[in-house]
Structure 1
Amino acid sequence: MSRTFFVVRRRPHRTVALALAASVAMASPAVASTTGDNTEQLRRLARELVAAGAPGVIARIDDGHGHPVEIVEQAPWTRQDHLLTATDEYRMGSNTKTMVATLVLQLVAEGKLTLSDPVEKWLPGKVPNGKAITLRMLLNHTGGLFDYTEDPALRPSIVGRERQRWTSAKLLAVGVKHDPLFAPGTKWSYSNTNYAAIGAVLERATGTSLANLVRDRIARPLGLNHTYYATDSTWRGPYAHGYERDAAHMPPEVPVWFRNFAGTRRHGHVDVSGNDPGWGGAAGAMVSNAQDWARFSTALMSGKLLPAAQLAQMRATLPIDARQPDGPGYGLGIQTAATPCGTFWGHDGGIPGYLTTNITDRAGGRTASVLVSTEFWAEFETDPKLAKATQAFQSAVTCAMFGKPLV
């Protein structure tokens, strides 16, 4: 949803790769700090992020040497709802795409799918021009499909005012009723409809639900006890509460149809953590926590989840910005960018109440996760102060992951 980080978005955006690459570059990192100095700086920056308006912050950084650093800060007014901990579950938004792409590539390795399969093969008659759109195009956002999250039909679900069961097929139908953005394979443009189609293909090819596929192929084998594909608003463990501004405090830049969230009012905010994320579907309905996602990232990038050939296909990237062919890139459900501190891989996500980023190095030996428990300010670029504090914290986290803290 945000232009600073990726989410289940409805508008053009900057991805996490672009945002982090820019913010880290501007920060001019130095290498000569100790681990202790780094941890204290991270805690200070997290406190500044809360002071700038974030209801809560969770971060976990593992530089591959010693014990991971965990940072938790929250605004005092949120404590009557929940005392935030480093192990809390939270909504992952579009980080979901990395896990869904992993499922596709597992089936490719097993010979059940090929990346060159046209979507028409699996979803006959469901996608206009489906013979020309391949699974690879869906996974790397070159399919040209309109983004379903921009359709007015989704607005009541996004703000939690409507509870309906959004299946992959229903979300796909919303997206494809609009004209395509461009001819398949000719451009790159982020669209959640691509992953709605992928979700429908996975269910058709396997005869089972996305929730079961995530559970049986990734969560259980890796022992991810807090990772699941959400099919309703239910949480399975202690969770971070997510908040958005209430209607009276919503910035004027936010359109009227996104100004009135369902949920309990608190300190000029609405607690949106009880709202159903099902409208995110295969594009954004995952729930996890920082520890689980680090284990997933390590398993993925080290080759535990995918054979070498499929991992190489995932890492085959296209430029996010055609004007920067050597700049940040997008592969199959994964992003990458070079920074002065190192080249990271990962994704980000945003769904009301939850702005998340998960990154790792190429081998999966280093991992980092960040949650900021409010998101619409980034979606609509309404809070420069919060944006600046978030970028400063993200920059420090990125460099700390590579053992190169900012000073």
Structure 2
Amino acid sequence: MTTDAPPTRPAPWPDDPPDLTDVLPPDGPPPDTSAADGEDLRQLDAADGEDLRRLDAADGEDLRRRLDAAVDAVDAPDVVFALSRHGHRTVRTGGTASPPPVPRHRLRYELGSASKTFTGLLLAQLTRTGPLSAGLPAAALLDPARRSGEDPGTPVTLAHLITHTAGLPALPADFFVRALPAWRTNPYARYPAERVIDAFLRHRPHHRPGTRWHYSNFGVAVLGHALAAATGTPWDDLLTGHVLRPLGLNGAALTPGGPDTDATGHRKDGTTPVPPLTVGGFQAAGAVRAAPHDLLTFLEAHLDPSGRPLAGALRTVRRPVLRRGIGHRHVHTMAWFQHPTERGPMYFHGGATLGQQAFLGFRPDTGTALAALCTRRFRARDAFVPTAYALLAEL
């Protein structure tokens, strides 16, 4: 992404930051959309004996029609649209492929860059409850005996990393050379944690930290390693212990499982499967995989933090921390993109891997949360993200 005008803070820094889109580079032209055959979760739930809360009959039927239309608009082997409205959940699934042995709504999906919403929430929690501050220099945490090439007067802080204002590129300079042999399988796996850290410590920012916004998987990955170093806790244990388990996301994971737990991604042709994502040293930027109901639990916590674990951090990640672009129209929180609607702000984040896409969003004004998932990699003009965004904006 290109840089914009210098970001400004609309309010005092609340010890928490923001984020957006892809974890992996796009490949291939956008496909045409076509109808997917619907799969009725009500029948699956009845067979499985699940007790899901339902909307009243009239509203529920209208919502199901909208979700079915959204599923049909996405041309992918597996499609899931999971929605929560005032605590009532409705999940619709479908796809161009035959239903997998494990129902689609029970599989875990790769979130790609939408994982950064978990990282932002973790930073919010650690700065509220622990010895960390968002203003701590990342280089000092990663290697106190070694300094990066930054201006000593304006070091890259944890806040800069989560808000994409650290002056870092999207990926390290040597990433593409190392990743090229595995470009169509698992490019991130060839760039381990130690290389991410070393690349950061050697990097000389082109802009003073805090003056330009540039979306950076590199920066959020560095943030993860800095938090792990500061707490003396491996990243997987850190995120699991402070975010996933406290919120009850017991099915979410940071590493691949297998065909009985994880959805299989596909390339742009919609038929060629791709291996499960392995993120190498970019865990904080895109490692989370989760099933639709766990994602709704995560989003519902953002809708109404009262009485929940991490309540303070959940409120913090809803606060705007910077504006950018022409007229400062683009608003970011510590973990989410924020857009206005007629009734109130809408929060969202997208993500993509080599074979899957995800869209997470919520609207406190209408008590609505949406997790949309599919198992096909598209480019910018496909129907998936616009369909999910429009659905959340209209509800």
Name the TM-score, length of structure 2 as normaliser: 0.75
Residue 72 (str. 1) matches residue 103 (str. 2): no
Q: 1:105 to 1:237 in 2, by over 3 A?
A: farther
- In 2, distance between residues paired with 1:239 and 1:223? 19
CA contact (8 A) 1:300 1:306 kept: no
Deviation by residue 1:49-82 (Cα, 9 ceiling, x = unmatched):
23xxx222111011216x3111101113x54x65
Residue 121 (str. 1) matches residue 123 (str. 2): no
Residue 316 (str. 1) matches residue 320 (str. 2): yes
Identity over aligned pairs, percent: 22
Residue 85 (str. 1) matches residue 104 (str. 2): yes
Q: Could you say which residue in structure 2 is the equivalent of 1:286?
A: 288
- In 1, distance between residues paired with 2:159 and 2:212? 13
* 3-state SS of paired residue (2:83): strand
* 3-state SS of paired residue (1:221): coil
Q: Could you say which residue in structure 1 is the equivalent of 2:213?
A: 188
- In 2, distance between residues paired with 1:364 and 1:34? 14
1:353 to 352, 355, 359: 355
- Measure how far apart 1:393 and its partner are: 4.7
Q: 1:289 to 1:194 in 2, by over 3 A?
A: same
Deviation by residue 1:198-245 (Cα, 9 ceiling, x = unmatched):
111111111111111122222222221211222xx4349522211003
Query: Structure 1 counterpart of 2:348, which letter?
Result: G
Residue 139 (str. 1) matches residue 139 (str. 2): no
* 3-state SS of paired residue (2:74): helix
- Measure how far apart 1:302 and its partner are: 3.4
Residue 46 (str. 1) matches residue 61 (str. 2): no
Residue 202 (str. 1) matches residue 221 (str. 2): no
CA contact (8 A) 2:78 2:104 kept: no
CA contact (8 A) 1:158 1:279 kept: no
Q: Could you say which residue in structure 2 is the equivalent of 1:28?
A: none
Q: Could you say which residue in structure 2 is the equivalent of 1:104?
A: 123
- In 2, distance between residues paired with 1:161 and 1:10? 11
Q: 1:396 to 1:41 in 2, by over 3 A?
A: same
Q: How many residues align?
A: 338
Q: Could you say which residue in structure 1 is the equivalent of 2:299?
A: 297
Q: Could you say which residue in structure 1 is the equivalent of 2:49?
A: none
- Measure how far apart 1:333 and its partner are: 2.3
1:216 to 241, 244, 250: 241
CA contact (8 A) 2:321 2:334 kept: yes
- In 2, distance between residues paired with 1:297 and 1:361? 10
Query: Structure 2 counterpart of 1:302, which letter?
Result: D
- In 2, distance between residues paired with 1:108 and 1:393? 32
* 3-state SS of paired residue (2:246): helix
- Measure how far apart 1:299 and its partner are: 2.5
Q: Could you say which residue in structure 1 is the equivalent of 2:43?
A: none
- In 2, distance between residues paired with 1:367 and 1:82? 27
CA contact (8 A) 1:158 1:352 kept: no
Q: Could you say which residue in structure 2 is the equivalent of 1:55?
A: 77
Q: Could you say which residue in structure 1 is the equivalent of 2:7?
A: none
Residue 234 (str. 1) matches residue 257 (str. 2): yes
Q: 1:270 to 1:277 in 2, by over 3 A?
A: farther
- For structure 2, the residue ranges without an aligned partner over 5 or more in a row are 2-19, 27-57
Q: 1:310 to 1:121 in 2, by over 3 A?
A: farther
Q: 1:72 to 1:127 in 2, by over 3 A?
A: farther
- In 2, distance between residues paired with 1:212 and 1:117? 22
2:391 to 371, 393, 396: 396
Q: 1:311 to 1:194 in 2, by over 3 A?
A: farther
Q: 1:103 to 1:353 in 2, by over 3 A?
A: same
- Measure how far apart 1:6 and its partner are: 0.8
Query: CA RMSD of the aligned region, Å?
Result: 3.1
- Measure how far apart 1:89 and its partner are: 0.4
- In 1, distance between residues paired with 2:331 and 2:319? 9
Q: 1:101 to 1:392 in 2, by over 3 A?
A: closer
- Measure how far apart 1:292 and its partner are: 1.0
Q: Give runs of aligned pairs for residues 240-389 of structure 1, distance below 5 A.
A: 240-245=263-268, 269-278=271-280, 280-303=282-305, 304-306=308-310, 308=312, 311-312=315-316, 315-319=319-323, 321-325=324-328, 327-340=329-342, 342-362=344-364, 365-375=367-377, 377-378=378-379, 381=380, 384=381, 387-388=382-383
CA contact (8 A) 1:64 1:366 kept: yes
Q: 1:97 to 1:280 in 2, by over 3 A?
A: same
